[in-house]
Amino acid sequence: MQNARTPLESQGRANSRRPLRRVPNTSLKDQVGGVYYMRRDQVGFLQRMIETHGDIVRIRLLGIKMIMINNPDYFERVLVRNHENYDKTTFLFRAVEPILRGGLIGNVGGEPWRRQRRIMQPSFHQPKVAGFAENMTDETGQMLRRWDDRYQPGDVVNISTELGQLAMRIVFRSLFGAHVGSRGDSIEEMFLEANHIVGNFFRFPFPPLSWPIPPYRRLNAIIRTMDGYVSDVIDKRIGSDEVHHDLLTALMNAVDEETGTGMTPLQLHREVLNIIIGGYETTSNSVAWLVYLIGQHPEVQARLHAEVDDVLGGRVPAFDDLPKLKYTRMIIDETLRLYTPAWQTMRRSIEEDEMGGYHIPAKADLYLNMYTLHRHPDYWPDATRFDPERFSPEQIAQRPRHAYIPFASGPRNCIGKHFALTELTLILAMIAQAYRVEIPEESQDVEIEPLITMHPKGGIHARMERR
């Protein structure tokens, strides 16, 4: 009888002469001190690990072992080529489980995830997103008019707050066809608070989130409030005959083509929350970083102004203008490289695997950090410099595709990618049409605040001059 083949043998490894290498370990000092260093400077510590050990290294945090990878080929292996072998039963997703609860973002994987994605995917296809473009430009137009009334020439504005409100309004209006109104501000504050609590937990995962200490009790209260808000909207909608043209209606009517069944109200509730969570902070941080970077680079801003003036000639942009706003898109890509909002994720190997000659054991936790990947010196010369030219077609063609993955890659990539890129392009184009941005001297050096999403610490303060 033939012996059972190991997963690596069935991939042809059995014929390879090269023995697989063991993934290098960090030093004992970094294993013991990892949690302390992470708490002080999470990104700095992880970057140091990569610089010291190369593109793959074992790290350990409070006894939790992880393999950190930082190479486009390894990312491609995990997310695309052998994606079936990796799921989300990891520490990071267990940490956010009380918030995400089986919605698409934290769904472990396998058939339950595939079914959910099949049901939801059509609601995020380009033609549907095109239908939301008007929400985006209308809300942005309202924000700009408020700025005109509220600010005097030369005023320095904390634009993070303003742009947070804008992103919140856009996601709520697209989902529910409704204006968030005054509840929007408190929801936004709750988001920030929840982000701090969970972000701190990830940096120092003790005590467990189930312990009834004040920040975790607050987290539970926030979750209950958000649940209440979403339930109100869904309940009202279920009991109403009115016709709506929003994402919620699309999701309520969506069915899995393979089985002909749709979502239960509970699942719908979870997915709506996941869309708010996935779609709000990521875009609000991105626009804040966008304004910061164009404000710091007048030559980039001048080219942006020239493009929007040329393409739009003063009118409000529409979905069809997007392909013509090429330089605007290059600025967005470069911003999502430098300050990638969803900057870390994890996967767990189901069976053993191999990457670049290294052995990945079964049931290993893999840590994927897009912030360090997007600053990898082999693919991004002078990586900290802001340079939208990196996204010219010629330069893109010279890089491995997986050197740049702000929306992840493969079947579990971001379902809201088109939505986000449409939103970012329309907002940036409209701000550029109306304002010239300058970052005052005292606000030049904004630090990153790596929470669950990548925040600008203290917000972005900008001087907005009407053009």
Binding site for ligand HEM (CB under 6 A): 104-105, 117, 274-275, 278-279, 282-283, 286, 341-342, 345, 406-408, 412, 414-416, 419-420
| Closest C-alpha to 409, from 364, 347, 362, 318 | 347
* Amino acid in the structure at residue 213: I
In whole angstroms, give the CA distance from residue 222 to residue 214. 12
Q: Which is nearer to ligand HEM, 82 or 274 (CB)?
A: 274
Q: Quote the least distance from Cβ 278 to ligand HEM, whole Å.
A: 3
Q: Quote the least distance from Cβ 343 to ligand HEM, whole Å.
A: 8
Q: Quote the least distance from Cβ 452 to ligand HEM, whole Å.
A: 11
Residues in the chain: 467
Q: Which is nearer to ligand HEM, 104 or 190 (CB)?
A: 104
Q: Which is nearer to ligand HEM, 20 or 108 (CB)?
A: 108
In whole angstroms, give the CA distance from residue 243 to residue 245. 7
Residues 125, 127, 128, 130: is their CA dihedral positive or negative?
A: positive
Cβ-contact 461, 440 below 8 angstroms = yes
Beta bridge partners of 354: 359
Backbone angles phi, psi at 455, to 5 degrees: -90, 155
Cβ-contact 316, 140 below 8 angstroms = no
Residue number with the smallest Cβ distance to ligand HEM: 416
| Closest C-alpha to 159, from 426, 432, 439 | 439
Tokens of 91: 């520490």
Q: Which is nearer to ligand HEM, 37 or 407 (CB)?
A: 407
Q: Which is nearer to ligand HEM, 176 or 419 (CB)?
A: 419
Q: Quote the least distance from Cβ 356 to ligand HEM, whole Å.
A: 21
Q: Quote the least distance from Cβ 416 to ligand HEM, whole Å.
A: 2
Q: Quote the least distance from Cβ 71 to ligand HEM, whole Å.
A: 17
- C-alpha distances in Å from residue 92, one per residue of 32, 87, 200, 212, 427: 20, 12, 12, 20, 32
Backbone angles phi, psi at 358, to 5 degrees: -100, 145
- C-alpha distances in Å from residue 120, one per residue of 114, 138, 248, 272, 415: 10, 26, 11, 11, 9
Q: Which is nearer to ligand HEM, 421 or 438 (CB)?
A: 421
* Amino acid in the structure at residue 47: Q
Q: Quote the least distance from Cβ 324 to ligand HEM, whole Å.
A: 21
Q: Which is nearer to ligand HEM, 409 or 443 (CB)?
A: 409
Q: Quote the least distance from Cβ 275 to ligand HEM, whole Å.
A: 5
Q: Which is nearer to ligand HEM, 248 or 430 (CB)?
A: 248
